[in-house]
Structure 1
Amino acid sequence: MNSSDNQGLVRVAVPVPLRRPFDYLAPHPLPPPGCRVEVAFGPQTLVGLVVEHPAESALPREKLKPVKRVLDERPVLGPDILALMQWGAGYYQYPLGEVLAVALPVLVRKGEPAAYRELEFWFTTEAGQACDLNELKRAPKQQQALALLRKGPQTPSSLRQEEVQSAAMTALEKKGLVEKRSLEPTHPTDWAEHLSCDGALQLNTEQALAVSAVTSQRERFNAFLLEGITGSGKTEVYLSILEPLLREGRQALVMVPEIGLTPQTINRFKRRFNVPVVAMHSGMNDRERLDAWLACRDGGAAILIGTRSTIFTPFRDLGLIIIDEEHDASFKQQDGFRYHARDLAVMRAHRAGIPVLLGSATPSLESLHNAQSGKYHHLRLTRRAGNASTAHQVILDIKNTRLQAGLSPQLERLMGEHLAAGNQVMLFLNRRGYASSLICHQCGWSAACERCDAWYTWHQSSRRLHCHHCDSIRPLPHTCPECGSVELIGSGVGTEQLEQLLATLFPHYPVVRIDSDSTARKGELEQHLEGIKSGRYKILIGTQILAKGHHFPDVTLVGLIDVDGALFSADFRAAERLAQLYTQVAGRAGRASKPGLVVLQSHHPEHALLQDLTQNGYDHFAVTALKERRLLNLPPFSHQALFKAEATGQAEVHAFLQRLAETLRLARFPGLQVVGPLTGMMERKAGKFRMQLMLQAPTRSALSQLMQWAIGELDAWPETRRVRWVVDVDPIDLG
């Protein structure tokens, strides 16, 4: 008898760029779907995920390879997450094996046990408990350590935090007073029995209505859009909705767009509820992320707060998903598996039969359209919490004005007045570095990236040139490579240059700069934010990191240095992004009892978008923008996908997409529009020429069918060996 006859079939998704799972033989009992297995794939051994038990295979059994090793006794991904990822792979047209790999923590993906790592703890022995502490008075560190251990076991790291070194512990161990043991950390799951809530604020009528609307529907799926102006108390609504859910012992997922919002959100939730609150984001190491993942899966975490990848986290009993700042582009993954976490969250909530709450002061036009069409319940918060009033808004015409590092004399004067009154000032400039480019004043040479159609950004603090597109870095030259001149100057203004100027103009007022350069090291952002809240810094300079969700009650003046570049973009989403950005930045002013002022510098003060935003607000802009989108049949009134291709030769890319365009047009899909091939906003990046093809269809289902057919055609083309292509469904960046 052939040994394979005693084995069953498992279908395994392996992390390779192929769009189908593969069949293997496995011994009985078969590992359930969601379990990891080690399998041979060509010359490699890969960790794959069992997705089903097929009755038969397209290949003869004698040609099937056996599973090398089963890694799990129980599934690491339950049927709910497995089904969600299978849906996501189909919708976003991405290989299932690579999609499932994204859903797993890195260590689990690599084959390590999906379990907590045992930690070493110091314990007291019976002799240590009976010992008179006075006997150790000549060894104060040993005395301190024994006193700590009598209260409970301690890890070596927690003892170091108390300044107890290993030498003291070794001495106590030799005396037989303490011993070291390895234990798996425990995460109690009975937190609901001890729940208490502190610091609840009195809700106003609008907040109370929003809370009631969601809590009354918490036993079934409903999607809610909470549109609340900046400072209206959306977080307090989230907290009030969570309280009855937590009392029932159910868990919640709270998604935020940026790492920078995670610490302050966690602190707010921890102050309110005495339950385990865990975080998950890219600033954590692999072990920390795995521990948080396990705590959610096993019920040891009540609330998970994190960025977009948290949507894949398993929970023991998930009862609610909250997406804060739902409009933010950070929720869309821009490489690899190009999913939108907000949309996956709505799908996950629908499949689980639980509510999902989308919150924003500037909702995306897609979410507003869903609210208008009745798919989402629309909840509104129209006034600021407490005594805060809406900030006054002014546009400064800076034509024919002498600027210093982008700063006008009018804004400089206003800064002086607000600082003299004891307040804080925030300046927004969405360009990091010292200058946008480096040029020679003698011959006009510019420092251009050799691999991209872009200029190097000049970073003065590190004395380097940095291409922010391909990450190429060069030392700052001392002379011009063309003419030898030493007159090298910057063109354009970055946050470094503005910081340098303000230190000169206002020497008595400390300045803090917050961008991805100044917050690169772990803990730097938290330190800067704490310095702002404590009043140590009076002038705040920042990019988008500073614009989102932060509450600075002493900021009374917000200045936007330069947003003119966004007024004339070819991307139809540019107006929406600028409107959201302006409204979010402006919302940082006057959030407490002090009145606020927002100043926007522009060479185009008469521009219709700027006038509409400053006079009528985001809500009016959104209504107008949706009407325009409907007339032009643009999303959300149609659905798009982008084929992006790149190669070392420009002609190869064009020929590839041209053939694809012709193939699609000949297929005559109803309602299909094919636009392109078109050159992207940056034709060459990292040494590759890039082009794209836009597809637009009237419905999501039509677009999905079209994409599946087109990809099936592409898989057979020999050109794909020379041209790298990807597909982006529901793209938000057309660059």
Structure 2
Amino acid sequence: MILRVAIPTPLHRLFDYRPPLSGTLKPQVGCRVSVPFGQRKVIGIITALPEHSELPLDKLKPAHIILDAAPVLDGLQFYLARWAASYYAYPEGDALSQALPALLRKGEPAEFTHETLWRATPGASLDALSKSATRQRELLALLLRNPKGVSTDLLRVESLPVPLLKTLKDKALAETFIHHPTPLHADEREEGEILKEAPLTLNTEQHQALQNIAAGSGFNTLLLEGITGSGKTEVYLQAIQQVLKEGKQALILVPEIGLTPQTLARFKARFQVPVIALHSGLTDRQRLDAWLMAREGSARILIGTRSAIFTPMRYPGLIIVDEEHDQSFKQQDGFRYSARDLAVLRAKHEDIALVLGSATPSLESLHNALSGRYRHSLLTTRAGKAMPPAFELLDIRGETLNCGLSDSLTQRIETHLAQGTQILIFLNRRGFSPSLICHNCGAVNECTRCDARMTLHRSPPHMHCHHCDRQTPIPMRCNQCGSEDLRPSGAGTERTEDFLCHRFPKTPVLRIDRDSTARKNAMSQLMAQIHTGKPCIMIGTQMLAKGHHFPRVTLVAVLDADSGLFSADFRGMEKTAQLVLQVAGRAGRADHPGEVVMQTRHPDHPMLNALIRDGYGAFAASELQMRKAAGLPPFSFHALIRAEATRQGWAEGFLRDIREMMEEQLAAPSGSHWSGPFPSPMEKRAGLYRAQLLIQSRQRSDLHQLLMRILTFLIQHKARNKVRWSIDVDPLDSY
């Protein structure tokens, strides 16, 4: 027998080993194995057990040890990770490894935490202690009340003296034991009430959407397109309720960690079944325990970010991808998979329903719905008495702005605060100012490692490149002319926050961006303050645009509605429309009417006016027509070959060689072609010079046939050690 092992390396190949010389566990496909790799010991996954190898048997090294008695990757996970590795042209070993929690990648056993607990010994009695031993009697009484065991943490909470446990043990009144958690499986649970609170009454559109989710049995993909505040979450909750009644599990994907606590609280309030979170904010131990609970079937509802798509479920019943349009579902480096697209594959493989929910669906999902590949449900009215907000394009041409705000907008803020409601200011620029400029010669403080300007931050004071994370002190003088007259140019969230604090000193101003929420629990504390309902002004980036429910917000102000209108990226208009409408959707979500004010220097721009007048559906239909005429996704399929090197020209030269090989040795299928190589839009980033080569095809199968051949060229190129390259299939940005 030969062990064919996938090892987490950048190499696009598998490795053969002989079985270990010792150990009792039988090798199985999907089990982890410890093997020698060069001078290291690594953890790999067995992918096959062939009888023969391309290498002579005596050239193969023996594996160290088999780590699992049963496959740690179930059939679905194994299939999903290997398929993703093939589709996204990524090394199989790395893909399989990333489908596992971090502790399993390190070789830890696939077991729950073994905890040492204390309990009373058989026959122990309070009569064995004198009445004067008050603390010992209290401690023993607690042990007698909890025959299943007590942890030392619980004793500390109860303010009982932990050292006295040894005294009780010496008197043979207490003992320790190892607790092995073994969660009940879904089919072993006692039947009981699933709900903690009654579901809300659905309107006609919501009821129809719920019926579409449950239509028939087996695989079924529904695009649930509902305007913000239309009650998509209530549809999710009632769909999950039906799944739970059948003893099955539900997986909900959300785009950001910041949304996980909010979603978790909402689901825990509705259901009295185990609900667990899966995201990168957990410790390695917490993540493994949650993963095991999902695999065992005791966790009935799983809520997680992108990587949770690889989490096993013993009783799969439903997958929901909330805010399915969000780019966070596509990993932007390394293993560049799309969790949303893998959710479609997983639901089909497990023969279960999938719901893709959004107020502003991606054009790919919308195209699939319009062409009949997905079911399509529309929610066009807000839940309850809430009315859609009123939109206004505020022309700021010729106006002097105070830290990004016009006088007219400042007056609107004052009016809404006087009514006792809340304000949301959206500005997608962190820091105090986007740049620091010399007033004498006009020189801009730039990053030495990127083709980008350094952003000025005031808390704490420093210059920060948001592309490579380089940080420097604020310069005292211009490095071009020596002038000390350096001035901030433009406004970021910090500068706008300062202005609002001075303009409205009696109103709390809450800044919500990556800097202000970096500390643990900072985001939840800010959200708790907002949800008190007291008047406040929120100023933040796109973190505020995603799925939050702010019932007291009556004014949403977009300070720079023009960003993205003239992007070179063909997806720029789609991204801008989605962001504007998602932010706008935070206004007027309860009994208070809302308004949305968008500051713009292009009040006649057709896209902005179409969004306000006709809504997202009309914009999307128009954009799809333009994409079809231009042969752009979703009517064609793209892949970017990216390269980066320490010297300018190396990456571009490497890709030029690849293109010449393609032209010499490959006959491009009809409808397929390549463009470039050309420098990336930001050529220099983090000290590396970058270039890219675009591959386009009308058929997905043709694109992947090309990529497999191109991958061979990339692996064999003589400059592969000087240039770092990657393949991005279905890219969402132009890098």
- Specify the SS of the correspondent of 1:181: strand
Residue number among 39, 42, 57 corresponding to 1:43 in the alignment: 39
Deviations 1:3-27 (A, max 9, x none): xxxxx11211011111121111116
Deviations 1:675-695 (A, max 9, x none): 111221211011111111111
Task: Name the structure 2 match of 1:20.
Answer: 13
Equivalent-residue separation in structure 2 for 1:335 and 1:44 (angstroms): 26
Task: Name the structure 1 match of 2:210.
Answer: 211
Q: Does 1:194 align with 2:187?
A: no
Equivalent-residue separation in structure 2 for 1:220 and 1:626 (angstroms): 30
Q: Does 1:321 align with 2:334?
A: no
Equivalent-residue separation in structure 1 for 2:171 and 2:398 (angstroms): 81
Q: What are the equivalent positions in structure 2 for 1:135-174 lying under 5 Å apart?
A: 143=138, 146-147=141-142, 150=145, 153-162=149-158, 166=162
Q: Does 1:280 align with 2:273?
A: no
Residue number among 92, 96, 111 corresponding to 1:100 in the alignment: 96
Moved more, 568-577 or 118-127: 118-127
Residue 464 (structure 1) shift: 1.2
Residue 317 to residue 445, structure 1, CA distance change in 2 (3 Å):
same
Residue 59 to residue 226, structure 1, CA distance change in 2 (3 Å):
same
Equivalent-residue separation in structure 2 for 1:181 and 1:601 (angstroms): 66
Q: What are the equivalent positions in structure 2 for 1:576-615 lying under 5 Å apart?
A: 576-615=574-613
Aligned 8 A contact 2:550 2:586 in 1: yes
Residue 142 to residue 685, structure 1, CA distance change in 2 (3 Å):
farther
Q: Does 1:84 align with 2:104?
A: no
Equivalent-residue separation in structure 1 for 2:93 and 2:508 (angstroms): 51
Code of the aligned partner of 2:556? V
- Specify the SS of the correspondent of 1:371: helix
Q: How many residues align?
A: 726
Task: Name the structure 1 match of 2:508.
Answer: 510
Task: Name the structure 1 match of 2:396.
Answer: 398
Moved more, 28-37 or 395-404: 28-37
- Specify the SS of the correspondent of 1:629: helix
Code of the aligned partner of 1:499? E
Residue 269 (structure 1) shift: 0.8
> How large is the Cα RMSD of the aligned pairs?
2.2
Residue 184 to residue 521, structure 1, CA distance change in 2 (3 Å):
farther
Moved more, 646-655 or 566-575: 646-655
Residue 590 to residue 484, structure 1, CA distance change in 2 (3 Å):
same
Task: Name the structure 2 match of 1:728.
Answer: 728
Code of the aligned partner of 1:716? Q
Code of the aligned partner of 1:19? H
Equivalent-residue separation in structure 1 for 2:554 and 2:160 (angstroms): 46
Residue 291 (structure 1) shift: 0.7
- Specify the SS of the correspondent of 1:489: strand
Equivalent-residue separation in structure 1 for 2:414 and 2:189 (angstroms): 51
Residue 423 (structure 1) shift: 0.3
- Specify the SS of the correspondent of 2:369: helix
Residue 168 to residue 338, structure 1, CA distance change in 2 (3 Å):
same
Residue 305 to residue 164, structure 1, CA distance change in 2 (3 Å):
farther
Aligned 8 A contact 1:36 1:50 in 2: yes
Which TM-score applies when normalising by structure 1?
0.95
Residue 665 (structure 1) shift: 3.5
Residue 137 (structure 1) shift: 9.9
Equivalent-residue separation in structure 1 for 2:54 and 2:133 (angstroms): 77
Task: Name the structure 2 match of 1:544.
Answer: 542
Moved more, 125-134 or 93-102: 125-134
Residue 177 (structure 1) shift: 5.9
Aligned 8 A contact 1:191 1:276 in 2: no
Residue number among 433, 444, 453 corresponding to 1:446 in the alignment: 444
Equivalent-residue separation in structure 2 for 1:149 and 1:551 (angstroms): 47
Residue number among 545, 554, 557 corresponding to 2:555 in the alignment: 557
Residue 70 to residue 513, structure 1, CA distance change in 2 (3 Å):
same
Task: Name the structure 2 match of 1:3.
Answer: none
Aligned 8 A contact 1:192 1:246 in 2: no
Code of the aligned partner of 1:204? N
Code of the aligned partner of 2:12? R
Deviations 1:594-652 (A, max 9, x none): 10000101111111111111111111111111111111010000000001111122222
Q: Does 1:470 align with 2:468?
A: yes
Aligned 8 A contact 1:133 1:147 in 2: no
Aligned 8 A contact 1:436 1:457 in 2: yes
Residue 109 (structure 1) shift: 0.3
Code of the aligned partner of 2:33? V
Question: What is the percentage of aligned positions where both structures have the same residue?
Answer: 50
Moved more, 166-175 or 315-324: 166-175
Deviations 1:185-219 (A, max 9, x none): 342334472242123101111111111121233x3
Residue 165 (structure 1) shift: 6.1
Residue 174 (structure 1) shift: 6.7
Residue 668 to residue 146, structure 1, CA distance change in 2 (3 Å):
same
Equivalent-residue separation in structure 2 for 1:518 and 1:601 (angstroms): 25
Equivalent-residue separation in structure 2 for 1:385 and 1:725 (angstroms): 49
Residue 480 (structure 1) shift: 3.5
Task: Name the structure 2 match of 1:4.
Answer: none
- Specify the SS of the correspondent of 1:357: strand
Residue 655 (structure 1) shift: 1.6
Residue 443 (structure 1) shift: 3.3
Residue 480 to residue 679, structure 1, CA distance change in 2 (3 Å):
same
Equivalent-residue separation in structure 1 for 2:677 and 2:637 (angstroms): 18
Aligned 8 A contact 1:191 1:275 in 2: no
Task: Name the structure 2 match of 1:289.
Answer: 287
Residue 493 to residue 137, structure 1, CA distance change in 2 (3 Å):
farther
Consecutive unaligned residues of structure 1, counting only runs of 5 or more, are 1-7
Residue number among 35, 38, 48 corresponding to 1:52 in the alignment: 48
Which TM-score applies when normalising by structure 2?
0.95
Code of the aligned partner of 1:720? R
Aligned 8 A contact 1:429 1:561 in 2: yes
Aligned 8 A contact 1:142 1:172 in 2: no
Residue 714 (structure 1) shift: 2.0
Q: What are the equivalent positions in structure 2 for 1:606-645 lying under 5 Å apart?
A: 606-645=604-643
Residue 713 (structure 1) shift: 1.9
Code of the aligned partner of 1:115? E
Task: Name the structure 2 match of 1:5.
Answer: none
Residue 461 (structure 1) shift: 0.5
Equivalent-residue separation in structure 2 for 1:513 and 1:158 (angstroms): 38
Q: What are the equivalent positions in structure 2 for 1:392-541 lying under 5 Å apart?
A: 392-536=390-534, 538-541=536-539
Q: Does 1:367 align with 2:362?
A: no
Residue 175 to residue 412, structure 1, CA distance change in 2 (3 Å):
farther
Residue 126 to residue 415, structure 1, CA distance change in 2 (3 Å):
farther
Aligned 8 A contact 2:635 2:698 in 1: yes
Residue 661 (structure 1) shift: 2.2
Residue 181 to residue 672, structure 1, CA distance change in 2 (3 Å):
same
Task: Name the structure 2 match of 1:669.
Answer: 668
Deviations 1:687-708 (A, max 9, x none): 1111111110011111111100
Deviations 1:478-508 (A, max 9, x none): 3444444443221121111111111111111
Task: Name the structure 1 match of 2:711.
Answer: 711
Code of the aligned partner of 2:119? F
Equivalent-residue separation in structure 1 for 2:479 and 2:563 (angstroms): 30
Residue number among 62, 70, 94 corresponding to 1:74 in the alignment: 70
Code of the aligned partner of 2:256? E
- Specify the SS of the correspondent of 1:46: strand
Equivalent-residue separation in structure 2 for 1:176 and 1:115 (angstroms): 31
Consecutive unaligned residues of structure 2, counting only runs of 5 or more, are none
Residue 658 (structure 1) shift: 1.6
- Specify the SS of the correspondent of 1:720: coil
Residue 553 (structure 1) shift: 0.4
Q: What are the equivalent positions in structure 2 for 1:1-16 lying under 5 Å apart?
A: 8-16=1-9
Residue 176 (structure 1) shift: 6.4
Aligned 8 A contact 2:120 2:140 in 1: no
Residue 164 (structure 1) shift: 5.1
Residue 163 (structure 1) shift: 5.2
- Specify the SS of the correspondent of 1:236: helix
